[in-house]
Amino acid sequence: MTTGGTVPRAPARHTGEHLMAYLFLVPSALVFGAFVVWPLGDSVYLSMHGSDLFGGASVFVGLQNYTDMFTSGEFGHVLLNTLLFVLLTVLPGVLGALVVVLLLESQIRGARVLRTAFALPFAFSVATASVIFSVIYNYQIGLANGILGFLGVDKVGWTTDPHMAMVSLALTTVWMNLGYNVLVLSAGVGAIPGEVMEAARLDGATGVALARRIILPLVSPQIFFLVVVTTIQSLQSFGQIHILTRGGPDGATTTLVYSIYKKAFAFGSSDFGAASAQAMVLLLIVLACTGIQFGVLQRRVHY
């Protein structure tokens, strides 16, 4: 493909063009420098210092914050919670959307309307979705328990039972992400050339066979993309935990990001040192995830 990448020949203006190109990059570079690079350095600095009464960095403590973190059983729980949250949100979220999209693409009438209906949760922000679910989850007067009661089932402590709270959070998150996932996968299926589908159909492939043999392999890049993106999103989730469970009950929903918040800003705590040490762990985990993404994509896509 001929693209803009082929630069017109005009040797005399090279230096000027280089300069101008740098100039074009300056605004972005300033923002990244001030709000990504510099804070990264500060995070490392903070994580190696104690905190004074007001959260300011006090004395140098070396790796103390890190050793404290790894030797406390609490942090192990936090990591497990984070992993659990990711598993409970990513797998059902992607698989659910995949099923919906495959059904939608089975040449039914009204697929567009249905797709839009499935995409509606996308309109909800984490705050609005969590507030609505908090009303539904309310133990004594919430609709979720109201419906269970109607069915003759015992009430469930949606956000108050430590075994249930993570599931409730995941349900909310999967619901929020469903619209996004459906849109991405639909676009992926939509991008499959019509001739390919038709050829497959003329070969007699229908329903499950068509989905398994033709559609799934062709949308695997989108599936992979979604898995990575929603994993990273889940790792960064904060709003639903802050609004629905505040990390509880009994710490059952304290994920890495919430733990950082708890140490740094909640309950009168301002232990920026310990919080920064945890932030570095978050950074490394997300780096690993994106590294995997880039690694896999790099092999398929040539920049």
Partner 1 sequence: MTTTATRPSTVDSTGRTRRRRRVSAGRIVVYVVLVLALIPVLFPVYYAFVGSVMPGGDLASSPPKVFPTGFAWRNLTGVFDSIPLATQYLNSVLQAGVITVAQLVTSIFAAYAFAWMRLAGKRFLFAAFMATLMVPAESIIIPNYLHIADWGLLTGTGGMTPGVLLGLVLPFLANMFGTFLLRQAFLQFPGELRDAAVMDGCGHLRFLWRILVPLARPSIAAAGVYIFLTAWNQYFWPLLVTRSPGQQTLQIGITQLRNAEVGDLGLVIAGVALSVIPTLLIVLFGQRYIVRGLTAGAVR
Partner 2 sequence: MRQRHTVRLLAAAAALTTTAALAACGGSDSGGSSTAAPGADALSHAKGVTTVEFWHSMKGPNAVALNSIASRFNAAHKGKIVVKPVYVGEYDDAIAKYKTSVQQKHTPELIQVYDIGSRFMIDSKQTVPVYKFADKDKWDTSQLEPNIANYYTFNGKLDSMPFNSSMPLLYINKKLFAKAGLDPNKPPTNLAEIMADAKKLTDRKHNVVGFNAAIYGWFLEQLLATNGDQYCDRNNGRSGLATKVDFASPDGVKVAQWWTDMVKKGYASNTGRTTDAAQQAFKSGTVGMSLESTGEMRDYINASKGRFDVVAAPFPRLSGTGSPNGGTIIGGASLWIDGIGHTDAQKRASWEFVKYAASPEVQASWHTGTGYFPVNSKALDQPSDKAWVKQYPQFTVAVNQLHSTKPSVATAGCALGVMPQARQSAEEALEKTITGGDPNAAQANLKAQADALRKPIADYTRAVQK
Applying the rule CB under 8 A, the residues between 142 and 181 that interact with partner 1 are 142-143, 145-147, 149-150, 175, 178-180
- Which parts of 223-252 interact with partner 1 (CB under 8 A)? 225-226, 229, 232, 235-236, 238-239, 242-243
- Which parts of 179-218 interact with partner 1 (CB under 8 A)? 179-180, 183-184, 186-188, 190-194, 197-198, 201-202, 206-207
Interaction partner, residue 113 (partner 2, partner 1, none; CB < 5-8 Å by kind): none
Minimum CB distance to partner 2, residue 61 (Å): 11
Contact assessment for residue 92 and residue 172, using Cβ atoms and an 8 Å cutoff: no
Q: How far apart are CA 288 and CA 294, in angstroms?
A: 10
Minimum CB distance to partner 2, residue 51 (Å): 7
Closer residue to partner 2 (CB): 172 or 231:
172
Tell me which residue of 270, 264, 258 sits closest to 78, measured CA to CA: 258
Among 48, 165, 170, 279, binds partner 1 (CB under 8 A): 279
Closer residue to partner 2 (CB): 61 or 126:
61
Which tokens sit at 107?
A: 């040449």
Contact assessment for residue 208 and residue 150, using Cβ atoms and an 8 Å cutoff: no
Closer residue to partner 1 (CB): 73 or 295:
295
Tell me which residue of 129, 300, 114, 131 sits closest to 222, measured CA to CA: 300
Tell me which residue of 179, 29, 9, 33 sits closest to 97, measured CA to CA: 179
Asked if 36 touches partner 1 (CB under 8 A), the answer is: yes
Task: State phi, psi for 301 to the nearest 5 degrees.
Answer: -110, 135
Closer residue to partner 1 (CB): 73 or 301:
301
Binding range to partner 1, per CB under 8 A, among 40-48, 73-81, 85-93, 161-169: 40-48
Minimum CB distance to partner 1, residue 59 (Å): 18
Q: How far apart are CA 21 and CA 256, in angstroms?
A: 40
Residue 57 three-state SS? strand
Interaction partner, residue 220 (partner 1, partner 2, none; CB < 5-8 Å by kind): none
Minimum CB distance to partner 1, residue 67 (Å): 20
Contact assessment for residue 240 and residue 129, using Cβ atoms and an 8 Å cutoff: yes
Tell me which residue of 196, 176, 179, 175 sits closest to 187, measured CA to CA: 179
Closer residue to partner 1 (CB): 36 or 73:
36
Minimum CB distance to partner 2, residue 280 (Å): 20
The partner residues of 51 in beta bridges, in order of sequence, read 57
